[in-house]
Amino acid sequence: MLMICYNADMLNFTLRQLQVFEKVASHLSYSRAAEELYLSQPAVSMQIKQLEGHIGLPLFEQMGKKIFLTETGRELLHYSRSIAQQLAEMEAVLDEMKGLGHGKLTLSVVNTANYFTPRLLAKFCRQHPDINVILQVANRDAVLKQLADNSTDLAIMGQPPDGLDISAKPFLDNPLVVIAAPDHPLAKLKRIKLARLAQETFLSREPGSGTRGAMERVFAEHQIQPNISMEMETNEAIKQAVQAGMGLGILSLHSIELELETRRLAVLNVEHFPLKRHWFVAHRCNKRLSSAALAFKDFLLTEAKRFAAITLP
């Protein structure tokens, strides 16, 4: 086992202990770390205790049933992630030098992008059958955290945030549309003024989601206050509620392809819609991308538009 050794009076701990610590620190839970590492909870606790013994300072503090990182724990988490990144990059470079012809790609995708990402991945994997892909689907905040923590190679998301050290390139249109049940009175109109929507009830994604942000911006630009009666964390919940006649929704056209084909939802013809947005492929600016990550990024930028494009019916 690899050992990090400075001298007898300083740090002497294993990379395995750092890995266990990183999982506990990320989840702030011994049980979730044990699940993810396929270890027993006592084994995880023992690794943390040994690591704290080597360092000579506590890494966690307990308040009630919750644990929190100490200042030492926060510092160690920063360095443990940096070490993990360097080791992953070393492994990728050595594999490429050996000419193994395979690799690993960790891809994080926001929930809405998962409606088309599997189709893209299927084609990519047919072209590169020896690349092992790990797909992580989460909400926008979780994907941004994975980018910030450097726990993913690439991410697919809507508008990238300002202020993060992220390189992002658009690769596919992402039109947002207003949806309603097919028997909704507005579904019969050929042209709807945006101000008319102030009289309607909306079902919306949670604050912080890309769709919610775009929705709020377009209404704010035209000084309209939407009536949001319910917030939901998934597109599927919004689609079901809209179909049931509970109100209108604003979603990516990519997320309602099946419902449009089966006529379970209707797209309203509202002025200023569809909102013109894009899907981006993003990664940390200073990240050294593996051959697998570079190949998938190039695939998205060259082939995704014609492969996964969708138009209004």
User: For 178-195, what is each residue's pLDDT tens digit?
Assistant: 999 999 999 999 999 999
Cα separation, 301 vs 278, whole angstroms: 12
The answer to whether domain 3-80 and domain 101-173+278-308 are alike in fold is no
Cα separation, 206 vs 60, whole angstroms: 31
pLDDT of res. 37: 87
Asked if the model's pLDDT at residue 250 lies above 50, the reply is yes
Please give, one letter per residue, the 3-state secondary structure of 281-299.
EEEECCCCCCHHHHHHHHH
Asked if the model's pLDDT at residue 170 lies above 70, the reply is yes
Domain ranges in the chain are: 3-80, 101-173+278-308, 176-267
User: For 194-234, what is each residue's pLDDT tens digit?
Assistant: 999 999 999 998 888 888 888 999 999 999 998 998 999 88
In CATH terms, the superfamily for domain 176-267 is: Periplasmic binding protein-like II (3.40.190.10)
Cα separation, 219 vs 123, whole angstroms: 38
Q: Which CATH architecture has domain 3-80?
A: Orthogonal Bundle (1.10)
User: For 55-113, what is each residue's pLDDT tens digit?
Assistant: 889 999 998 889 999 999 999 998 888 888 788 777 766 766 555 456 789 999 998 89
> Tokens 């992002």 sit at which residue?
168
Alpha-carbon distances of 142 from 110, 114, 138, 151, rounded to whole Å: 8, 14, 6, 11
Asked if the model's pLDDT at residue 10 lies above 50, the reply is no
pLDDT of res. 129: 87
**Single-letter amino acid code for the residue at 114:** N
Mean pLDDT value across the chain:
87
Mean pLDDT comparison of 9-13, 158-162, 273-277, highest-scoring range: 273-277
pLDDT of res. 307: 66
Asked if the model's pLDDT at residue 247 lies above 90, the reply is yes
User: For 122-156, what is each residue's pLDDT tens digit?
Assistant: 999 998 888 889 999 988 889 998 988 888 999 99
In CATH terms, the superfamily for domain 101-173+278-308 is: Periplasmic binding protein-like II (3.40.190.10)
Cβ(178)–Cβ(270) below 8 Å: yes
Closest by CA position to 137, among listed 106, 110, 163, 98: 110
Assign residue 192 a region (left: φ > 0; alpha: ψ between -120 and 50; beta: otherwise): beta
- Tokens describing residue 117: 């990402």
Q: CB under 8 Å, gap of 24 or more: what pairs does 209-214 form?
A: 209/139, 209/140, 210/110, 210/112, 210/140, 210/157, 210/158, 210/159, 210/277, 211/112, 211/158, 211/176, 211/250, 211/251, 211/252, 213/159, 214/158, 214/159, 214/176, 214/250, 214/275, 214/277
